[in-house]
Amino acid sequence: MSTVSPTAAGAGVRVRRMSPLRKRLDLVGDRVLFGVCLLAALLAGAVIVLVGYQIVHGASAAISEFGFAFVYETTWQPNFGVFGAGSLLFGTAVTSAFALLLGAPIAIAVGLFLTLLAPPGVRGVVGPLVELLAAIPSVILGFWGLLVLGPFVQSEVEPFLHGTLGFLPIFGAPQTTGLSVFTASLILTLMVIPIIASISRDLFQSVPPELQDGAGALGATRWEVVRGVVLPTTSSGVVAACLLGLGRALGEAIAVSQVIGAGSELQSSLFESGDTLASRIALQFPGALTELHKASLFYCGVILLVIGLASNLIAQAIGRRFGYRGATAR
Amino acid sequence: MSEATIPDRAAPLTPSGNLRRRQLVSRAAELAATTAAVIAVAALAIVVYTVVARGAGAIDLDFIFTGYPTGVGPMLLGTLVIALVATLMAMPVGVLIALFLTEYAGSRAAGPLRLTLDLLNGLPSIILGLFVFALLVDHKQQSGFAGAVALAIIELPLIARGSQEVLLLVPRSLREASDALGVARWRSVLTVVLPTALGGIVTATVLAVARAAGETAPLILASSVFDPKQFSVNPFESMPNVPVWIYKLSEEGNPEGFTEAWGMSLLLVSFILFASLGARALLARSKRKLSS
């Protein structure tokens, strides 16, 4: 290294000094790297703010035209310039709630299976496979729903449910196509399962084994250990996981738009067509001609953004408050 | 003691009465959990099987390398370019954020930043589509670049989170050795910490790309009007891409189009499954190596 001057080298043992140039370079380098990293971090925050701003800005025409009534009005007639997201909000709520109702118990059971029941070999295979379900692109899942699941639901599941549980208004008469709120909910169920399953597996693994062994030593059966120890210690985290799954279900646009049948009316039967906020944007935005139509779709985006951010924030708050972090849906 | 409470002497250790019921309940719960796992795996298997069974017939060399109507080459190329541009934008920023989290941020800055990343991760992709439409497409024209920006936002939190996990595994001793030699912080970050974690960062990026490559919602607004015959590598015009083309074919309801869509689905799914399985295996390996 050239940090030792020729004269000093001759003088025997001497401390190697950094040249002033290198010292200055290091000072600058440290600051630059810190600055660039900070900038990147600020960029992430700026993106969120910018997204919020652009969506609200895009919706401004619809917001001033319809005001808050947009949220509950159910008329959506692009030709007459009348828009209301009530039925879409209803469709979003129904599909997501149904997906969560069906998906959460399955996903939690998968989490329990992976942590408590499965032998290590099975665990190593089933765990990644369940997570891979989340990796299937939504457009392919929707395409599959359209061509495979939809017809099956229409010919088998709908008649069966109508026959056995038809006294409930939600299981109305089967329709001619399988494109329905019901099929969309099933597709969403497939999407929320991997998210909730992988988070709840991590949660269950964090339950101290002493507690479980203690319960076992007192004579509790496996189910009683789960009921009495595992679920109570992780319940808040499981709720957070379900909220993250809900956020995923609310915002799914493509797969839902492929299988829900794009109906505009409020229907009590799950077998009728319907529509959600996200899928309406995907279906109508490319063909939207008037500025008001586009602005109304942006308004749907605003509602979606608010609900999505809220469910996410609540999930994070619960997760943080009860010590479970990294509740990231992958 | 009455006669009824005395267990059967012939089999003193068999459960009786309440215990038998409790064990039955427990068995039933185990069975239910196993069934749930079977359902989840079966769902994946059925979807993948359908895609393979219906898509395999459509794929040959022409399908991959020529344009419409004999093949889907332009779509594959477009998706490749869009994903590449997106990754070129997301990877540096993501890694820098990860560096900020591990090297510089105290707990007061790290908390909000992690929350921001989680919120970004939770944004519905259709919202990002609206965002890039308003920012880059409205009053201008659709472009592959606009789609890439949306995909970059999807990749960003995944890359940042993944890289951060790997960076945290870089042994303290390496940093301390570097400090002890009087090496400046930025030099030790660039020459010691990053190279050690490079493998993990790359695999985290591959996982993010696998996730973003199939995203359809943003591209429907950003890059959906294109000529399926035309090969294009110019990201500043609307580019053909696989997800939007599958979506369009699925909406059209034409059987030949369905076969084509299944073929493309197979290509996309196999890329995604191989990339994520491979990256997962590599990530597990490099984490083991770092933490041992």
pLDDT in tens, A215-251: 989 888 889 999 889 998 888 899 999 999 999 999 9
Binned at pLDDT 50, 70 and 90, residue B283 comes out as confident
Residue of B nearest to A126 (CA): B41
Q: Please indicate, yes or no, whether residues A72 and A174 belong to a single structural domain of this protein.
A: yes
Q: Across A23-32, B145-154, B277-286, which has the greatest mean pLDDT?
A: B145-154
What residues of chain A lie within 8 A of the CB of B50, using their CB?
144, 148
Q: Is residue A328 part of a domain?
A: no
CA pair distance B6, A320, nearest whole angstrom: 52
ipTM over 0.85: yes
3-class SS at A82? strand
CATH code, A270: 1.10.3720.10
**Over 60: is that where the pLDDT of A12 sits?**
no
A236's CB contacts (< 8 A; 6+ apart) are A318, A319, A321, A322, A324
Secondary structure (H, E, C), B263-277: HHHHHHHHHHHHHHH
Residues B69-96 pLDDT 10s:
888 888 999 999 999 999 999 999 999 9
CA pair distance A151, A145, nearest whole angstrom: 9
Phi and psi at residue A77, in whole multiples of 5°?
-130, 95
3-class SS at A185? helix
Count the domains in chain A: 2
pLDDT, position B39: 93
Interval B147-162 mean pLDDT: 94
**Over 90: is that where the pLDDT of B222 sits?**
no
- Please report which residue ranges of A67-115 form alpha helices under DSSP H: 86-112
pLDDT, position A185: 93
Q: Please indicate, yes or no, whether residues A41 and A110 belong to a single structural domain of this protein.
A: no
Higher pLDDT, A13 or A185: A185
pLDDT, position A10: 45
B26's CB contacts (< 8 A; 6+ apart) are A221, A222, A223, A224
Secondary structure (H, E, C), B120-170: HHHCCHHHHHHHHHHHHHCCCCCCHHHHHHHHHHHHHHHHHHHHHHHHHHC
For B59-291, the fitting CATH number among 3.40.50.10860, 3.30.70.920, 3.40.50.2300, 1.10.3720.10 is 1.10.3720.10
DSSP tag of A173:
P
B134/A54 Cβ within 8 A? yes
pLDDT, position A114: 93
pLDDT, position B285: 83
pLDDT, position B68: 78
What residues of chain B lie within 8 A of the CB of A116, using their CB?
33
What residues of chain B lie within 8 A of the CB of A301, using their CB?
126-127, 130
- Please report which residue ranges of chain A form alpha helices under DSSP H: 6-10, 20-66, 86-112, 120-133, 138-144, 150-152, 158-165, 181-205, 209-217, 222-225, 231-251, 254-259, 277-284, 291-321
Task: Kindly state whether A310 is in contact with chain B, defined as any CB-CB distance less than 8 angstroms.
Answer: no
Q: Is residue A107 part of a domain?
A: yes
B29's CB contacts (< 8 A; 6+ apart) are A222, A223, A226
Residue of B nearest to A220 (CA): B22
**Over 60: is that where the pLDDT of B204 sits?**
yes
How close B253 gets to chain A, by Cα (Å)? 10
Q: Is residue A248 part of a domain?
A: yes
Q: Please indicate, yes or no, whether residues A54 and A178 belong to a single structural domain of this protein.
A: no
CA pair distance A88, A296, nearest whole angstrom: 12
Which structural domain range is residue A20 located in?
15-62
B200's CB contacts (< 8 A; 6+ apart) are B162, B163, B165, B166, B169, B283, B286, B287, B290
How close A309 gets to chain B, by Cα (Å)? 7
What residues of chain B lie within 8 A of the CB of A29, using their CB?
184, 186-187
Q: Please indicate, yes or no, whether residues A50 and A126 belong to a single structural domain of this protein.
A: no
Sign of CA dihedral B266, B272, B277, B278: positive
Q: Please indicate, yes or no, whether residues A43 and A126 belong to a single structural domain of this protein.
A: no
**Over 90: is that where the pLDDT of A52 sits?**
yes
Q: Please indicate, yes or no, whether residues A120 and A240 belong to a single structural domain of this protein.
A: yes
pLDDT, position B175: 87
Cβ within 8 Å of B, A 6-65: 18, 26-27, 29-30, 32-34, 36-41, 43-45, 47-48, 50-51, 54-55, 57-58
Q: Is residue A8 part of a domain?
A: no
Binned at pLDDT 50, 70 and 90, residue A57 comes out as very high
A-interface mutation test, from B41, B118, B188, most A Cβ less than 10 A away? B118
**Over 50: is that where the pLDDT of A327 sits?**
no
CA pair distance A124, B9, nearest whole angstrom: 45
pLDDT, position B287: 78
Model pTM?
Answer: 0.88
pLDDT, position A4: 45
Domain ranges across chain B: 15-55, 59-291
**Over 90: is that where the pLDDT of A262 sits?**
no
Binned at pLDDT 50, 70 and 90, residue A200 comes out as very high
The one-letter code for the residue type at B242 is V
Q: Please indicate, yes or no, whether residues A55 and A125 belong to a single structural domain of this protein.
A: no
pLDDT, position B257: 86
Query: Tokens standing for A293?
Result: 């139509």
Q: Please indicate, yes or no, whether residues A33 and A141 belong to a single structural domain of this protein.
A: no
pLDDT, position B1: 44
pLDDT, position B84: 94
Interval A24-39 mean pLDDT: 90
Binned at pLDDT 50, 70 and 90, residue B117 comes out as very high
Q: Is residue A48 part of a domain?
A: yes
A37/B33 Cβ within 8 A? no
Residues B5-38 pLDDT 10s:
555 555 556 666 788 888 899 999 999 999 999 9
Average predicted confidence (pLDDT) for chain A:
85
Pairs of CB atoms within 8 A across A/B = 277
